[in-house]
């Protein structure tokens, strides 16, 4: 069977048979893959001219709902992916991380839409006041890049590797071309076939290359974004491509790194933390047969506990049954293929020149339910390096398989130094119940790590573990790890957006952004805004309320109702040395009274008060002051109906500007209301 590429909206086989792909368990050929005949320039042009415009017309809310629909669709099809995943050498648990972890990324980024406006672009940061009178301001908008995201994945996560990346660029409004690791691309192909068959993504939003992508970077332009996940050596070659430099193309690199797990000096044998440490390291060595960019390669333990760790870890590794993942009891499958087995074996032999193997054997190990001479199986290999500051191969050579090295440290400062000797890592972890040890290590090691996990009995049960990047947190690392970052929630989306500073009057900036800026011209209507439906409201629409003069009785009554008897409100004799010249009204009274001034009491389209985004009390209000409210529609965010019976509605953000008799603002807040739509279809 020849795998097909998905290009220019069509499935097409390569013009030649191409590379043979093998079942990692049985060694049988299952497919061939080739990209011969693909026109990469045309594929990129198709993405830019067809996929890009379609995505950019969609709002963040629509793109987010698109991701949710896609996640739900793939979730229904997951069992067929699990069946194929077996041929990559993965156990059910390994495949869960890859398949459902990838789908989970889609769900996470679908939910992230709520942090973005209901528009095709977004804004970043706060307004910059550029003039004394407030008639000239600045802001930043972020619009989708008009290029294509090229994702080159050279590691063994054929589903996660694609979905974790396209979730971000699709939410941003940018199409993608995905090139997975060829050796396991048959699983990626199956997922893309389901994505294409669903009809959920617009044409040109996603294309797939199953064979080589050599030459694709010759056609990038400045609006494109290139990401790479794989070896540091390959990443460096790609990063230095002349076209990337000429066009100043953003390049994000996530490279395999020599990640470490540190045992705190307090975590003695018999403690919960010691057991957690042993379980975590064993899991990270054997999950995906150690073929993860986040796997633990260096095990850093107190000198006095080296023997205890070696014995305990050896016992757990010995109980790990290797073999066919379909056979009951098997806990570790094979490497992704014969080439991977050969490469890891060579690295083990190289490492063995400067350190001792204390568990495992390259030749003598048992395989359950399969022929180890046909499949790409390997025993876990545990090294001991008693002089890690002197014998430094363990900090430079990575065997991308179930291989790790125990090394001792005397003081926490030594552990920090050893951790940093990896020259930059995606992740490290420390297992300790001592928060001072944790703090010292985290602060000392953070500069060389993209993520640090602190594990102890308090969080271990719910922890996602050392090796699991989370969609809402940045994944990446400095130095050897590539110097890039991906995912990271909202931060990741901004990698695919162009941030542009805009300057002008508050009114003009408001119109451009679709968000009211303080100082812009008001739009006054004859009808109260709470009587207007969601689609009828206009950004900038303002209600100038009636006024209220604050009396001491207001302060006393509010104190009685709220229980807030803070001295500044209730004791005029205690104000010496404060900023107040007399009893001051409660800030929350001012906000509450403002609500009394702007709320329309009768039943109407407003369903409920949804919350408060921000609030500041900027000027004291004393008895005798008269306050009023400028109540302005600041922003509108559409909401989808959860089901046919749900009420069609949206969220409206209102700027509540409370001012006194001098016209100065005394309090300012943003409140949210849920507002019904007139059209309930």
The residues carrying an active-site annotation are 254, 293
CB atoms within 10 A of CB 151: 25
What tokens does 526 get? 């004859």
Identify the three-state secondary structure at position 70. Answer: helix
- Could you say which DSSP state residue 187 is in? H
Q: Which residues touch 317 (CB under 8 Å, ≥6 apart)?
A: 282, 285, 286, 359, 360, 380, 382
- 36 beta partners: none
Is 149:225 a contact under the CB 8 Å cutoff? yes
Asked whether the CA dihedral 63, 483, 350, 419 is positive or negative, the reply is negative
- Could you say which DSSP state residue 402 is in? S
**Euclidean distance between CA atoms 568 and 503, whole angstroms:** 41
Is 55:205 a contact under the CB 8 Å cutoff? yes
Upper half-sphere CA count for residue 73 (Cβ side, 13 Å): 17
What tokens does 618 get? 């900027």
Is 155:291 a contact under the CB 8 Å cutoff? yes
Please state the three-class secondary structure of 590-629 as a single string. Answer: HHHHHHHHHCCCCCCCEEEEEEEEEEEECCCCCCCCEEEE
**Euclidean distance between CA atoms 297 and 260, whole angstroms:** 6
The whole-angstrom distance between residue 580's C-alpha and the CA centroid of its chain comes to 46
- Could you say which DSSP state residue 389 is in? T
What is the DSSP track for 99-147? IIHHHHHHHHHHHGGGGS-SSSSEE-S--EE-STTSS-EEEEEEEE-SS
At residue 162's C-alpha, the angle toward residues 160 and 163, to 5°, is 65
Is 158:88 a contact under the CB 8 Å cutoff? yes
- 586 beta partners: none
What tokens does 247 get? 């066009």
Asked whether the CA dihedral 535, 540, 541, 543 is positive or negative, the reply is positive
- 477 beta partners: 484
Asked whether the CA dihedral 485, 490, 496, 497 is positive or negative, the reply is negative
């Amino acid at each position: 069977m020849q795998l097909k590429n998905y290009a220019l909206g069509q499935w097409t086989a390569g013009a030649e048979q191409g590379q043979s792909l093998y079942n990692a368990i049985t060694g049988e050929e299952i497919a061939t893959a080739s990209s011969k005949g693909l026109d990469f320039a045309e594929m990129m042009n198709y993405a830019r001219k067809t996929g890009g415009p379609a995505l950019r017309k969609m709002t963040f809310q629509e793109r987010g709902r698109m991701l949710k629909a896609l996640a739900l669709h793939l979730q229904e099809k997951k069992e067929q992916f699990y069946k194929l995943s077996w041929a990559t050498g993965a156990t059910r648990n390994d495949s869960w991380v890859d398949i459902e972890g990838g789908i989970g990324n889609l769900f996470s980024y679908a939910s992230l839409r709520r942090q973005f406006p209901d528009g095709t672009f977004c804004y970043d940061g706060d307004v910059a006041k550029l003039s004394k009178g407030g008639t000239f301001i600045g802001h930043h908008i972020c619009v989708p890049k008009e290029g294509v995201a090229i994702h080159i994945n050279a590691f063994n996560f054929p589903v996660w590797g694609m979905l974790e990346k396209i979730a971000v660029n699709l939410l941003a409004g940018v199409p993608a071309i995905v090139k997975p690791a060829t050796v396991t691309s048959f699983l990626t192909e199956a997922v893309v076939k389901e994505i294409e068959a669903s009809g959920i993504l617009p044409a040109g939003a996603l294309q797939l290359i199953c064979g080589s992508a050599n030459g694709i970077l010759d056609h990038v332009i400045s609006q494109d974004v290139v990401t790479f996940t794989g070896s540091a050596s390959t990443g460096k070659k790609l990063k230095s491509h002349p076209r990337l430099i000429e066009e100043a193309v953003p390049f994000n690199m996530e490279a395999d790194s020599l990640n470490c797990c540190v045992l705190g000096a307090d975590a003695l044998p018999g403690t919960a933390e010691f057991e957690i440490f042993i379980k975590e390291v064993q899991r990270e060595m054997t999950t995906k047969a150690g073929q993860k960019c986040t796997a633990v390669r260096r095990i850093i333990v107190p000198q006095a506990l080296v023997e205890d760790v070696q014995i305990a870890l050896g016992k757990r590794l010995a109980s790990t049954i290797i073999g066919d993942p379909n056979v009951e009891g098997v806990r570790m499958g094979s490497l992704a293929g014969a080439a991977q087995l050969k490469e890891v074996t060579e690295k083990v032999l190289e490492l063995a020149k400067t350190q001792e193997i204390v568990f495992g054997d390259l030749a003598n190990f048992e395989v359950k339910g399969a022929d180890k001479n046909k499949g790409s199986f390997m025993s876990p290999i545990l090294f001991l390096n008693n002089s890690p500051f002197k014998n430094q191969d363990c900090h430079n050579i990575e065997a991308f398989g179930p291989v790790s090295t125990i090394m001792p440290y005397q003081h926490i400062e030594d552990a920090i130094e050893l951790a940093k000797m990896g020259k930059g890592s995606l992740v490290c972890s420390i297992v300790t119940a001592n928060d001072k040890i944790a703090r010292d290590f985290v602060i000392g090691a953070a500069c060389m790590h993209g993520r640090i996990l602190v594990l102890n009995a308090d969080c271990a049960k719910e922890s996602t573990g050392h090796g699991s990047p989370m969609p809402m947190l940045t994944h990446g690392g400095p130095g050897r790890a590539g110097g890039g970052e991906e995912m990271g929630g909202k931060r990741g989306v901004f990698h695919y957006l162009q941030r542009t500073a805009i300057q002008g009057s508050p009114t003009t900036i408001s119109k451009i952004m679709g968000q009211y800026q303080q100082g812009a011209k008001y739009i006054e209507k004859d009808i109260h805004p709470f009587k207007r439906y969601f689609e009828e409201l206009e950004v900038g629409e303002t209600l100038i309320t009636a006024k209220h003069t604050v009396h001491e009785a207001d302060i006393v009554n509010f104190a009685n109702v709220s229980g807030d008897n803070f001295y500044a409100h209730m004791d005029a004799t205690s104000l010496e040395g404060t900023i107040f010249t007399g009893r001051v009204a409660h800030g929350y009274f001012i906000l509450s009274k403002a609500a009394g001034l702007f709320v329309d009491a009768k039943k109407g389209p407003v369903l409920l008060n949804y919350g408060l985004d921000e609030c500041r009390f900027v000027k004291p209000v004393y008895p005798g002051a008269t306050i009023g409210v400028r109540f302005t529609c600041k922003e509108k965010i559409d909401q989808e109906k959860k089901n046919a019976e749900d009420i069609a509605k949206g969220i409206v953000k209102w700027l509540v500007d409370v001012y006194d008799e001098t016209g100065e603002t005394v309090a300012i807040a943003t409140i949210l209301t849920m507002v019904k739509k007139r059209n309930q279809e």
